[in-house]
Structure 1
Amino acid sequence: MRIALFYHSLVSDWNNGNAHFLRGIASEIMARGHELVVYVPRGGWSVTNLIQHYGEGAVTAFQQRYPELANQEQEYTLADLDLERALDAVDLVIVHEWNAHELVQRIGEHRSRHRGYRLLFHDTHHRSFTDSQSMAAYDLQHYDGVLAFGEVIRDRYLTEGWAQQAWVWHEAADTRIFHPLDDRPREAEVVWVGNWGDEERTSELYEFLFDPVMEEQLRTNVYGVRYPQQAQAQLRERGITYRGWLENSRVPEVFARHCVTVHIPRRPYVEALPGIPTIRPFEALACKIPLVCTPWEDAEGLFTPGEDFLIARNGEEMRRCLREIINDRDRAAELASHGYRTLLGAHTCAHRVDELLSIYHELNVSHESQPHLRK
């Protein structure tokens, strides 16, 4: 198969969590012998910020870490993008929802003239609920359907009439990168890997992480970008070390030097999008580090709370959960092992590529059975 993907950035994960999943999916697709190209906008904000803050060396590090993906990214501008050439002889095209409305429409119009490939729209964000006007403006009339990273988003597309078909396609862990590492010297007890979040979880970070680790006097490292100076000062006052951006492929080695990590979802996922954990818990479980989550409703039954990870409903429960994991090594190992088995059983990028190919073949059968295509 020849597959074309239109996303924001493969190279940069600076404030671009979607790059985690994209890299895993792209690596798995290529490992199965398919041809792949990832089209990205020239001068995209993620790679621009990455180079501005960390230099060209950060791009070189990506190329060294993902040699199979080093030459798969093709930059374009809307003015010079030649879709006739880009989509010549492709079998499957996936367009991510961070793309410009104009691009989404142009690809759809190309599909209306060239029926030989399948075309899918991929939604991995909460904007279908928090910015529905913008999402409704995407012209998907010529798309075969939508890949949504949760049931609630899939249902949104169908009930609003934005798409005729939609499938659930959760994110997952790239187990080529995310896997347990041998015990490393402990650097601290707690680690949090996550960006500041545009005020979508500020109070939750204080209640469930910053204050509990200060009260328990736990050595804690925080990684992520866009932390304002005031927040960094608050971390220093609590004895928490802020370490800035962490290239995603280095997360497993960081996890291996800590006892426990925490997942604090953004507020829209808790309030409007039950069942969507985002990619961080998948990656933590794949690394076999004990995980404590703040409340989110696992409406789709992806995990077993209490066995795959612990749930802390408030700051006091977070303190108890962290103490339990740090002080009871057998309990910590049991929790980590159960979560790891669950992850390997259903939530790897290999599972997601299986699902994608199943959808592709389903669409091909449907396409070939249309009366106007019968020979």
Structure 2
Amino acid sequence: MEALRMRIVILGLSMTSSWGNGHATIFRELVREMVRRGHDVLFLERDMPWFAAHRDLPLPPWGRTELYQDLADLSDRFTQDVRDADLVVVGSYVPQGVEVGRWVQATTRGIPAFYDLDTAVTLAKLARSDFEYLSPDLIPGYRLYLSVIGGPMLRRIERELGSPAARALYRGVDPELYLPRPSADSWDLGYLGTYGADRQPTLERLMLEAARVWRTGRFVVAGPQYPAVVRWTSNVERVQHLSPSQHPEFYGAQRFTLSITRADRVLAGYSPGARLFEAAACGVPIISDVWNGVESVFVPGEEILLARTAKDTLGYLRDLSEEDRRTLGAKARARVLAEHTSAHRALAVEQYAREASSGAAAAGTPVERLIV
């Protein structure tokens, strides 16, 4: 069965600005693919000053993107869109997300869904009664709980939090943008990521300690918000910010790239980060920290390299043959193209919507526009 054209409304953190967040790129790629597949998509973004000052895509070319000022403005201008949509998705970290979620669930006649791009953080917040953008009473009312963490966490969301259907929706990647762009190697190892206090010890252990040992090695860290107290050696170059369009060229200038998983995602497992798929699609060999479920995404030793110490990192950088290095990168790219593109994620959303609409048919939810 093929999905018919859906009317979709997404209320997300941002699509116009990738500054300091990974949400924008994820939404851009998902919306683009949904539009390509014939769906009518409206993306609603709260107009926040920090995004307004750093908009690298002020007018997204896919579907329709609108900014709103506050909850009153949202309700005044977009009630009809939300009411008539087949699928309404609220993302994590949406400002006043609890109020937005209540409004969506009370307004839409379609399927209300929550897209948690921060699942481990969200569950930790709920455990300490921090209801910044999601509260326990909302979860049963979201007929889909889409999560960037898969595996056993999904069953926990259903059993303990009352979600009718928790489903994995990992980050996809655009193979037309993220593709190999070989260049003269500028760095032996690079890392792309905004500063995170939980990730910094791993960056220190896997890269910065290696840089101190191998002083002739060339390293680079790209991303904002690193504090002045971080000690950078002279062989570690710093890049403050890269827009998504610059990522492939950045990856192409590295012999290897480093992938670091947030501490809470390491504990949760089954949580591939956004940069992991980007780098693999660009064909650059990946050195990753170790987390449960990585083997469900890439084959260790064949498609990805795992490191626990600086010694592990240096072993890969200095001892792996050029032929093996290139083969590993090519195999990772092949896996991404086969299973992890944005088109795959759009298909997953259609399938999840099909399941949700079918299961809710007895409650009177219209399904004829969703399913052939």
Aligning the two structures, in what range does the TM-score lie when normalised by the shorter sequence?
A: 0.7 to 0.9
User: How many pairs align?
Assistant: 350
Shift of 1:267: 1.2
Per the TM alignment, residue 238 of structure 1 is displaced from its structure 2 partner at its CA by 4.2
| Cα offsets for 1:141-184 (capped at 9, x unmatched) | 43212111223432232122342221121222122321112x22
Q: CA deviation at 1:44?
A: 5.6
The answer (yes or no) to whether the contact 1:293–1:312 under 8 Å persists in 2 is yes
Q: TM-score, normalised by structure 2?
A: 0.87
Give the C-alpha shift of residue 371 in structure 1. 7.6
**Inter-partner Cα distance in structure 2 for 1:152 and 1:124:** 17
Show the counterpart of 2:89.
Answer: 94
SS of equivalent to 1:297 = coil
**Equivalent pair of 2:105/2:141 in contact (CA under 8 Å):** yes
Q: 1:5 to 1:274 in 2, by over 3 A?
A: same
Distance 1:5 1:211 in 2: 42
With over 3 angstroms needed to count, the CA separation of the structure-2 counterparts of 1:13 and 1:162, relative to structure 1, is: farther
Which of 201, 206, 209 in structure 2 is aligned with 1:208?
Answer: 206
The aligned counterpart of 1:186 is: 185
Return the offset for 1:138.
Answer: 5.5
Distance 1:16 1:371 in 2: 38
SS at match of 1:207: helix
Give the match's secondary structure for 2:360: helix
1:166-315 counterparts in 2 under 5 A?
A: 166-181=166-181, 183-197=182-196, 199-216=197-214, 217-231=216-230, 234-235=231-232, 237-271=233-267, 273-298=268-293, 301-315=296-310
**Contact 1:10–1:73 (Cα < 8 Å) also in 2:** no
Matched, 1:119 2:108: no
* Structure 1 residue 108 corresponds to structure 2 residue 101: no
2:98/2:135 contact within 8 Å kept: no
CA distance in 1, matches of 2:14, 2:137: 20
5+ residue gaps, structure 2, are 1-5, 368-372
- Does the 8 Å contact 2:357/2:365 carry over to 1? no
Q: Are positions 1:13 and 2:18 aligned together?
A: yes
CA distance in 2, matches of 1:373, 1:194: 42
- Residue 303 of structure 1: CA displacement? 1.6
- Aligned counterparts, 1:7-86, within 5 A: 7-43=12-48, 45=50, 47-48=51-52, 51=53, 59=55, 61-62=56-57, 67-68=61-62, 72-82=65-75, 83-86=78-81
Aligned to 1:164: 164
Distance 2:71 2:246 in 1: 33
Q: Which residue of 2 aligns with 1:128?
A: 122
2:318 corresponding residue in structure 1: 323
Distance 2:144 2:283 in 1: 35
Partner of 1:55: none
Amino acid at match of 1:335: L
Which secondary structure does the structure 2 equivalent of 1:190 belong to?
A: strand
Q: Is the 8 A contact 1:105 1:140 kept in 2?
A: no
1:275-301 alpha-carbon deviations (Å, 9 max, x no partner): 112111111101100110011122671
Alpha-carbon distance, 1:94 to partner? 0.7
Instruction: For 2:159, give the aligned amino acid.
Output: T
In structure 2, what is the Cα distance between the partners aligned to 1:155 and 1:44?
38
Indicate conservation of the 8 Å contact 2:140/2:161, yes or no: no
In structure 2, C-alpha distance between the alignment counterparts of 1:373 and 1:19, rounded to whole Å = 31
Q: Alpha-carbon deviations, 1:121-151, whole Å to 9, x = none? A: 1112122332123344452343212111223
Q: Deviations over 1:298-331 (max 9, x none)?
A: 2671221111111112121111012234xx2101
Name structure 1 gaps, 5 residues minimum: 52-57
Name the counterpart of 1:364.
357
SS of the residue corresponding to residue 205 of structure 2 reads helix
Q: Is the 8 A contact 1:109 1:142 kept in 2?
A: no
Moved more, 254-263 or 159-168: 159-168
Distance 2:31 2:364 in 1: 34
Distance 1:343 1:44 in 2: 35
Matched residues in 1 for 2:31 and 2:299: separation? 29
Separation (CA, whole Å) in 2 of partners of 1:251 and 1:343: 16
Give 1:263's aligned amino acid: S
